[in-house]
Structure formats: C-alpha cells, structure tokens
Structure 1
Amino acid sequence: MKIAFYTLGCKTNQFETQALETLFEQRGHTIVPFDEFANVYIVNTCTVTALSDKKSRNAARRCKKINPQATLIVCGCYSQMEPEQAREMCGADIVVGTGCKGQIVELAEQAQAEASFPGGSAVQEAREFEVLPAGGLRGRTRALLKVQDGCQNFCTYCIIPYARGRCRSIPLTEAVRQAAFLEKEGYQEIVVTGIEVSSYGIDLPDHPSPAALLAAICRAAPHTRIRVGSLEPRTITPEFLEEVGPYPNLCPHFHLSLQSGCPDTLRRMNRKYTPERYAQSVEMLQAAYLGCAVTTDLIVGFPGESREDFEESLAFVEACGLAQVHVFPYSRRKGTPAYSMPNQIPQKEKEERSREAIGRFHTLHQNFLRSKVGQVLPVLFEQEKDGLSSGFSPEYCEVRVNEKELHNQLLSVRITGLSEDGWLTGSILPENP
C-alpha cells in the first residue's frame, strides 16, 4: 500500500508519525508525500486551540479530493476529544485517539483488504505508555525520542490533559535502549520529547527523575548531541544540574515555559511557580552553562490581564535575559476553565499586545545571537536555504555557510556575522575532516 501522513502540532505528534512510518515500512508498505495519490491517508491531529481543530479538519478533507477511494484515518488529540466530529465533519473512515496508535497499521491493512472500515474503537483513555520505535522523520538529521505522555497539571487554559490523559513514562531501560540504537543508526542529535517531560517517572515504580533520565540517555549515546524539550521551571534545581552537568553532549539549550511574568496571571493560569522561582531557574542555568540559550513561551491577553499586568510580564521577561521568547495571544478553548473566566480580552487587543511583545523581544534574540559572533560553534547541518547550507548550534542558533552538500555533517564553524533575518553567518574551519 501507499501511505501518506499529515502531522499537526507538537514534537510528540511528530515522533508518533515517524514511528508509524517505520511500522508501515517494516510491513512492506511505501510512504509517499501527502499531496500524492495514496491508498491510506493518516492525519495526526492537534487540538490545542480552536484553530488547530480547524486545520485538522481541513487537512483531513483534502485527502478524499486526491483519492476518493482511499482509507482516511484521523488520529491524535482532536479525534480523541471529538471522535464524532472527526468521523462526520472530516469524513474519516477510521478514528483513533491519542493512545493505541500501534493499532493503526493493522486497521489500515484490514480496511484495504476487506474494502470496509473497522470503525473508531481505538478512541479510549490511555493508561500505559505506548512504546513506539524511535527515529527521525523522513529527511531529518535529528531523531526524536518520546519518553513521556500525558499531563496532570491542568493549567486553566489547556485542553491537553483531557486529550492525552494522565502522565505515563517510558521505562528507563527502554529509553536507554532506544538512545543507543539511534546513535548506532547514525543520528547526530536526539531530541528528548514528551507532553510534560518534567513529570517523567512519577508513574514508574522507582520514580526515576528527569535528571536521571537525561543522564542515562547521555551515557547511552555519548557521541550524539542530546537536546531536551520543554521543561517546567521547578525542574531546574542544584540537584538537577549536578546530575546532568558531567555530560558535555547535553545541549546547552533549555526551554522553560513561563506563560506570564505576572504573579496574578500565573495564579489564574494555575501555573505552579512564581516569577521569582522562574528567575532562579534561569540564573542557575546561566551560571552552570555559560552562554546557554534559555528560551520560553509567553501568553498575552489572558482573561483578566490588565495593561499593568501585561507590562509587568514583559518587564520580567526582559530582566531575565532570555535568548528567545515565543509569544502567543491567548486563544479561548472550550472545555477549559479559562474559557468561562470573566474579563475576556478583546481579540484586537490581544493581537496588539502580541505584536508589541514580539517587537520588544526581538532585541533580546538579536543580542543573544550577536554574542556568538567570533566564537567557534559545532554546527549540525540539515538543509540548503537560498544556496547556503543551514544547520544549528548546540544552543539552537541557526548558522548558514557558503558551502553545499553538508547534510548531516557536524562541523566546527567560526561565526562571522548576524543577518537581518535572524541567522548567523560563518565559515567552516579548515581542520574539519
């Protein structure tokens, strides 16, 4: 069979798609681009916002226009929350939720063999971590390693705990096995991902910590860069840094979700830390990893956020000296407590605050990139852009050089400048092989 995928949303979804690609290929099937003729189309959906739902539906509807006789499988967070919509509005033949994705191969084969559709019985609450094969999406130089699923923080703006269920962790021995396998496969970077990586281990018998997980993965793949996904600020402690500190292959790039620098807004969001605790985490990282990149997410226009709250939030972020800030206007999501909160901010005001925040934080990012000029950075090259080879440093700075055919090569580059578009220029050192 010819199988085509369309993936929306987070790195966890990306991991699950590449795992399904691997499983289909192991059964002798062929993966084709999504806009080509296929026997089976699989849309791995996102439901984090109402716009995500709409994008998921639109992607699903495109399939039948290419091949009206194809089997359409809709899976992921949107189909978990709205299985009937996935069937009726998307025209899905098979609906699968956030668990049991390993069943998709057999469901697709059955549907094609019998010219019938087994239905959506795979939409159910996941109670155990589903081990899927680790690897990289087609054409990627970095591999994804999913170590955790689910969330039980219940932030008031977030639907994901309802879509993904409670926290479930991969056994430490399995994470180590997969990391070692990925290094043997030739990947030069592994991205450790999950829905809430900071909750790793809370469901396992011996409760291994996120630090123990990262240390074990670093040891299992000592010649591979290890990049960790988003972490909860309270994860960063002296004990955490002591445990992961000995491993030079852990990338000095830490994404600590903030969402707001205003304490009142954080309380309404049901975040479990204060701005002061967040600042302590940033300071510890910057002291332990000189020149590291600490990045974050910020939501503006949350219900009840006054202009003064907004200004307080921006001033706090600027004081932290972060490397990059991803700004999002608050998006109302049915099914979450924040949807019904009083003092909703008008959409126009949210968009204006978002533009203002992005403008102010642009300087932060430029300053961080400028601090790298003159340094020699190891760059993992991934693709060509505008005639230049593009790759990323351990701090996740994009670097471009005037060379070609460098895909999947890790080379030392002297940084020579900063472009107006936010990437670094450089020259490859002659001592590279």
Structure 2
Amino acid sequence: MASRTGRPVAAVLTLGCKLNLADSGEIAAGLRRAGFDVVDQVCEADAYVINTCSVTHVADAKSRKLIRSMRRLAPQARVAVTGCYPQSAGFDAVRELGADFVAGTRDADKAELVRFLADGAAAPAAPGESPPAPLAPGLTRAFVKAQEGCNDVCAFCIVPRTRGREESRPVEAVAAEVQRAVEAGAREVVITGTQLGAWGRDLDPPLRPHHLISGILERTEVLRLRFSSLQPQDITPELLALWQDPRLMPHFHLALQSGSETILAAMRRRYTAAEFLRAAERIRAVVPGVAITTDVIAGFPGETEADFAATLDLCREVGFARIHAFPYSPRSRTAAARMPGQLPPEVKKERMARLLALAEELSLAFRRAHRGTVRPVLWEEEKEGGWFGHTDNYIPVYAAGANLRNRVTPVHLGEVYHDGVRGTLPAEAP
C-alpha cells in the first residue's frame, strides 16, 4: 500500500523497555530516510518491524503473538523482527513464526534491517529526492541510547546474553542526537541504555554518568532531560550536583529488585538494601519533590516470607512513586533458573498481589502529596476529550484545554484520577 504521500508505509511496533523505544526510533529514522512513511501502531502496511522483549516468559509470549499476528494480518508484507527475543529463542525459531528477516540488537544489525525493507519497498524514494525528516512529526518526547550491553551477570537476568557486552557511545554522539531531537520538536529527551550507570567505564580514559549528563547539558538546548535508570552505586555527589540545572527532571528510577540482603546477594546485585536506602536519602536531600520509581521481583528462588516482608518494608520506607512489579520468571541459561528453592506459582501469585497493593498505596500517597501544588507539564496527546501529559516528576496529568500538544505549561494539580491526577491551568485554578 502507499500513503497519501505515495510512499510505502512501515509500521514499527515496540515491546519492552525504553531502550527498545530508542532502538525503534533509530530504525524509524532510517526507514524515513529510505523513503517510507512510518507509523507506530498496527495498521495496513507494506512492512512491519517488531522490536521484541524477552525479560520474562510473559514478554516472550507477547513477542511470539505479535509476530504471528502481523504475519496473518499482512501475508504479502515484509516482517522484520529485532530486539531481545531472537537472541534468547534463536533466529530460526523466530523465522518459523513468520519473520522474513531477523536482526540482532546492535547498530549494524538495525542498519541491515532497514536495507532489507528498503530493498523490498514498493515505491522507494526517487533519486535526488530530499529524504523525509529523520524523526517523527509531532514528536514530544524522544529516547536516545547512550550505552548498549551489560557486563554484570545478575543471577536472574537474560539481558547480558541478549544485549552483549557493554559499549558506550561517545558523549559527542549522544549530545548530537539529543540536539537533533530538539530541533525536530522534542521538548523532552530520555537518555537510556542497557546498564546506563555503566556508561563510560569502557572508554579511554574511563568516564562516569555525570560526565555524560554534563556533556549533554553543555552541548544542547534540550528543555527537559531524563536519565532512565540507575543503581544505588551510581548516585554520587558529582551526579546529584548536576540536578541544580532545572532542565534535569526530578525523577530517578532506581532498580531495587529485593529489599532482603540475603536475596540481593543471591541475585548478585552490586548493592545492599542499606546502600539502596542511603542512595534514596541522598537523592531526596538534594532534589525537592523528586519521584523515585523502581523495579521489584516477587518470588525469587529461596525467598522466604521474612525476605519478602523486608522488601515490602523497604518499599514503604523509600516511599516509591511507582513500582514496576514482576513475579520471578526463570530464564534459560541463567544461574537463578538452576537454584534450589524455586517457589510454587501460587506463592508467587500471592506475593505479587501484596506487592501490587502496596505499589498502588504508595502511588496514591505520592500523587496526593502533590495536590494543590503547581508543576510544569509536557502535554503529549489528546485523551478523554482533554489533554494528557506528565509533570517534571512524572505524575500523569489529565486536563481540559485547547491545542496544548507539545507545550510545557504550569499546571495546578488536583484530585487523583485514573493513574494520575486532574490538572487545571493556573488561570482556571481555584
């Protein structure tokens, strides 16, 4: 099929993490340069890119389902699959699901994927024609990858096998991509990576994440900058000092996984529960109104009721704004999958229910604590007859208004609503 512009259409569909969103953005930019119009939703198209996830068995199932669905939807279209699932399941297994092309996760793999789809395009860009804009029109938030791979070998994690060894992009390259996103209209940029706190340790000379952030701030005109995920050992005085710049958003995602010292050691995490608490305290001391969000696994092998209670207690003590909760999922060829003490599904299910209930309690408390305050909101899309966006500390906001898209405005935060709060523009606020 051809779009209204006469160019072929490619649908880039993304499962999983912010790193996948950054990779999908790079693929979409390459496809636009190759002459495609690109969408990010299921529709009739000439080509489909499915960027998969394999962090849990549920993610595997979602990846398989989406590949099969796109093959059935468009038997004549080209289907290309990338992301972590091919790395864990094997390329042949992905081809058997209906993929015409299977790619790895590195930059060269993504470039090869774009070439494959461009070679089969029904109406490639004419020679000499100006290439389409490399970033999506109407972009509000962009995801930029600063780092790939992970050298840590956490007992439960398949990612080092699916993403490979650590490789940092030079700060100049990251900053240049951030500035391109800004010039394309993005008001906010999220810096992401497989193990973002490891950025720079493979460079010569070695650098730390604060060098990356300061380099981006110095070299770009970005209005709002987020750093997607860190660990407690990454929270240094040099890093926190940068949050004096108002362009850095008051939001830290610190992956906890467990609040039990015993389980953290079994997981091979590089911090203790006490160190996690100290990192959270340092953040709160420096960054007013900060949101601290996290990931937690329930039901890791050998986890006792006391271990799980320690996790709940630590979550309460930190007061997370949001908890991304997972039941433990055995991944092949990981140390945890071979550990004794695998918990039965009913135990994991019961602990997940308690963890999710606590997550909702803490999220409500965080949102209610900001009732009556005024915070800047980036308006992203129309929703429910009004507008939807996020505050600087990542509270979802729903408000009425006209033509707010991609604007940043001060908003009076009100009552809890859905997953966020209702907001009113100051002129309308009580």
TM-score by length of 2: 0.90
Distance 2:135 2:273 in 1: 36
Q: Deviations over 1:148-191 (max 9, x none)?
A: 11011111111000010011111111112222222222211001
* Shift in Å, 1:364: 1.6
Unaligned runs of 5+ in 2: 1-7, 123-132
CA contact (8 A) 2:140 2:380 kept: yes
1:83 is aligned to 91
- Cα deviation digits, residues 292-319 of structure 1 (max 9, x gap): 1111111110000011111111112211
Find the counterpart in structure 1 of residue 74 from structure 2.
Answer: 67
- Tell me how far apart the structure 2 counterparts of residues 139 and 335 of structure 1 sit (CA, whole Å): 42
Question: Is it true that 1:205 corresponds to 2:213 in the alignment?
Answer: no
Instruction: Tell me if 1:43 matches 2:43.
Output: no
Secondary structure of the residue aligned to 1:47 is coil
Pairing of 1:276-425 with structure 2 (within 5 A): 276-419=274-417, 421-425=418-422
Query: What does residue 129 of structure 1 align with?
Result: none
Secondary structure of 1:302's partner?
coil
Structure 1 contact 314–357 (Cα < 8 Å) conserved: yes
Query: Is the 8 Å Cα contact of residues 33 and 134 (structure 2) preserved in structure 1?
Result: no
Q: What displacement does 1:139 show?
A: 5.4
1:168 matched to 2:177? The reply is no
Aligned length: 410
Q: 1:255-270 counterparts in 2 under 5 A?
A: 255-270=253-268
Q: Deviation of residue 2 (structure 1)?
A: 2.6
Q: 2:13 aligns with which of 3, 6, 14?
A: 6
- Whether the 8 Å contact between 1:35 and 1:66 is mirrored in structure 2 is no
Name the TM-score, length of structure 1 as normaliser.
0.90
Q: Say whether the 8 Å CA contact 1:80–1:97 is kept in structure 2.
A: yes
Q: Could you say what the CA RMSD is over the residues aligned between the two structures, in angstroms?
A: 2.1
Q: Distance in 2 between matches of 1:321 and 1:250?
A: 21
Instruction: Give secondary structure in 2 for the equivalent of 1:430.
Output: helix
Q: Quote how far apart the aligned CAs of 1:372 are.
A: 1.0
Alignment of 1:8-23 (within 5 A): 8-23=15-30
Q: Deviations over 1:39-85 (max 9, x none)?
A: 22221111111222222121111222222222221112111231111
Amino acid at match of 1:142: R
Distance of 2:419 and 2:101 partners within structure 1: 43
2:119 paired residue among 96, 110, 115: 110
1:31 & 1:227 partners in 2: Cα distance? 25
Secondary structure of 1:206's match? coil
SS at match of 1:218: helix
Q: Structure 1 residue 135: deviation in Å? A: 7.6
Letter in 1 for 2:110: K
The answer to whether the 8 A contact 1:32-1:38 is kept is no
Cα distance between partner residues in 1 of 2:424 and 2:94? 50
Aligned to 1:157: 156
Decide whether the 8 Å contact of 1:145 with 1:179 is kept in 2.
yes
1:122-141 equivalences under 5 Å are 140-141=139-140
The question of whether the paired residues in 2 share the 8 Å contact of 1:80 and 1:96 is answered with: no
Structure 1 residue 32: Cα displacement: 4.5
Stretches of structure 1 lacking an aligned partner (at least 5 in a row): 114-133
SS of the equivalent of 1:245 reads: helix
Q: Of 101, 110, 115, which aligns to 1:101?
A: 110
State the 1:5 CA deviation.
Answer: 2.1
The share of aligned pairs that are identical, in percent, is 36
Equivalent of residue 52 in structure 1, options 53, 59, 66: 59
Deviation at 1:199, TM superposition (A): 0.5
What letter matches 1:355 in structure 2? Answer: A
Inter-CA distance 34–180: structure 2 relative to 1 (3 Å threshold): closer
C-alpha displacement of 1:214? 1.0
Structure 1 runs (4+) deviating above 6 angstroms are none
Of residues 10-19 and 141-150 in structure 1, the stretch that sits farther from structure 2 once superposed is: 10-19
- Match of 1:284, SS state, is helix
